[in-house]
Structures are given as structure tokens and as C-alpha cells.
């Protein structure tokens, strides 16, 4: 039997500039590299993962595309204002923003462990940070006359989170922000949400629950029968910013191997 040949990656973002937040690690890094593979100049945002961001930028450049690094704590509105100015001053224009940054409270194994600090931290990043990014970058995209924004949400809005209720609340907030700014910015700037299911990122495989049976339990409950790496989901997420998704505004797209499917 002849070996399968991988399908060529379509250049959906040739000549465009894409900014990915939290691109130093995990899903953000995968999104940045995939955007470059599809022809984009990539803005690699980070807060504390400077080394990871440099590594992501190197991977982008190895694909033959430009990368630029920007740093900001997105939970600080003044920092986001400065970030937006920096990005537009440096790139001139921004075609796609991927709001990937989110805090999942990875150290929390039960709702009983919740603290006020943990609640504030998650909501500051997931809700306030996403809103600041939408507000500042979206308004500039409106001024330039085009743009697409992808908010990385979660399937936790379908099933809740008995582990970390504040995380579920944060992602519900992201969904509300998506619909609100989608209505405010349409049709000039399209805003949509992408909800990945469980992925085997470096952070996930280090979690206590992941190493003590949760991975196997989730696989047994997933119709696809496996947990993918972040690279496998990056192309699906970026679809929302492509011309093929031009009529999708305020949508919530799930990509989780059927885990959240009703009746599965």
C-alpha cells in the first residue's frame, strides 16, 4: 500500500499579519506556527514566557516568515493600550488577532480549593483581559476598515467545571464578550469564538489529575478515542479568520473529538 501523502497547507494568510497572545507556550505557540505555515507575518505575544516566545519566533522564521515579539500583561488595561499602539506602529496593520491567553487555574484540583486570589486571577485574565484586547485592538481594526478576531474559549461552557468553577465563569464571560463585540464591530471586523477540548500540552501533562487517571477517563468518553496535541487544532481555530468563514459572526465553534456532543 502506498504511504499517505500529507495534504499541502493552504496559504490562507499570505501577505497578512496575525497576532497571537500567549504564543510562547502550548496552544498559542501552535497557533503562531500554523499561521506562519499559512503565509502570515506573526506577532508573538507573551507576558512571562520570554524564552518560549523567542523559540516560537524562531520556528516562524524557519518557515520563511517574519516574526516580531511583544510583551504585556493583558489583565492591565493600560498595558493593553500600549501593546495595541506597539503592534500597529510596528506592523502597520493587523489582519487577525487571536486572543489565546487564559488562566485555567491548573493548580486547583477541586472546587473546595478555590480562593479569592484564584477567582480574581482567572477573571482578571479571562474576562477583563479578553475585553481589554477586544476593545483596544477591535477599535483600531474598525479604523483600518477590516479585521478578524478569534477568542479562544472552551468546551467548559457546555459542561461546567466542578474542579474550578471560576474558570467556567471566565469562559462564559468570553462567550458573552464574543457576541457583544461581534454585534458592535460587524460587518467590518468579525469576532468569533473557538472552543477546543482537552489537548496534551506541556502544562496539561504535568497536572496531577492528568497523571493519575484523568487522561484515560477522558479518552474513554471521547468518540474520537484520543486526546490530540495543540498542533492538530490550530488549523481549525484559524479557519474562523479565513475568507471561508466570512459569514460567521459571533459564532461558537467546538473542536473536541465529540466529547461535548449531546448524547455521546
Active-site residue numbers?
167
d(CA 104, CA 112): 16
Burial class (CB in 10 A: 0-12, 13-18, 19+), 145: exposed
| Cβ within 8 Å of residue 198, ≥6 positions away | 204, 218, 222, 227, 256, 259
d(CA 230, CA 152): 13
Q: 96 forms bridges with which residues in the sheet?
A: 18, 148
Positive or negative CA dihedral for 160, 108, 127, 136? negative
Contact 201, 230 (CB under 8 A): yes
Q: Locate all alpha helices (DSSP H) within the chain, ordered by sequence.
A: 26-37, 50-62, 77-91, 116-123, 130-144, 156-159, 165-185, 202-205, 214-220, 231-239
131: Cα separation from own chain's centroid? 14
Amino acid at each position: 500500500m502506498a504511504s499517505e501523502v500529507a495534504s499541502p497547507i493552504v496559504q490562507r494568510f499570505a501577505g497578512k499579519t496575525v497576532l497571537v497572545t500567549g504564543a510562547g507556550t502550548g496552544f498559542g505557540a501552535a497557533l503562531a506556527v500554523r499561521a506562519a505555515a499559512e503565509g502570515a507575518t506573526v506577532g508573538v505575544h507573551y507576558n512571562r514566557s520570554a524564552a518560549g516566545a523567542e523559540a516560537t519566533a524562531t520556528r516562524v522564521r524557519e518557515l520563511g516568515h517574519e516574526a516580531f515579539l511583544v510583551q504585556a500583561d493583558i489583565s492591565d488595561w493600560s498595558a493593553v493600550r500600549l501593546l495595541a499602539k506597539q503592534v500597529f506602529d510596528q506592523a502597520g496593520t493587523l489582519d487577525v488577532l487571536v486572543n489565546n491567553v487564559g488562566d485555567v487555574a491548573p493548580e486547583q484540583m477541586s472546587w473546595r480549593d478555590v480562593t479569592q486570589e484564584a477567582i480574581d486571577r482567572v477573571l482578571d485574565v479571562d474576562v477583563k483581559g479578553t475585553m481589554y484586547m477586544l476593545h483596544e485592538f477591535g477599535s483600531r481594526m474598525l479604523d483600518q476598515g477590516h479585521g478578524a478576531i478569534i477568542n479562544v474559549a472552551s468546551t467548559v461552557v457546555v459542561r461546567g467545571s466542578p474542579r474550578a468553577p471560576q474558570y467556567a465563569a471566565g469562559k462564559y464571560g468570553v462567550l458573552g464578550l464574543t457576541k457583544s463585540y461581534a454585534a458592535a464591530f460587524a460587518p467590518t471586523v468579525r469576532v468569533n469564538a473557538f472552543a477546543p477540548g482537552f489537548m496534551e500540552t506541556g502544562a496539561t501533562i504535568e497536572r496531577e489529575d492528568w497523571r493519575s487517571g484523568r487522561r484515560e477517563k477522558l479518552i474513554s468518553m471521547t468518540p474520537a478515542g484520543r486526546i490530540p496535541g495543540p498542533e492538530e487544532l490550530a488549523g481549525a481555530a484559524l479557519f474562523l479568520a479565513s475568507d471561508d468563514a466570512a459569514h460567521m459572526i459571533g459564532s461558537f465553534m467546538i473542536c473536541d473529538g465529540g466529547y461535548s456532543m449531546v448524547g455521546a
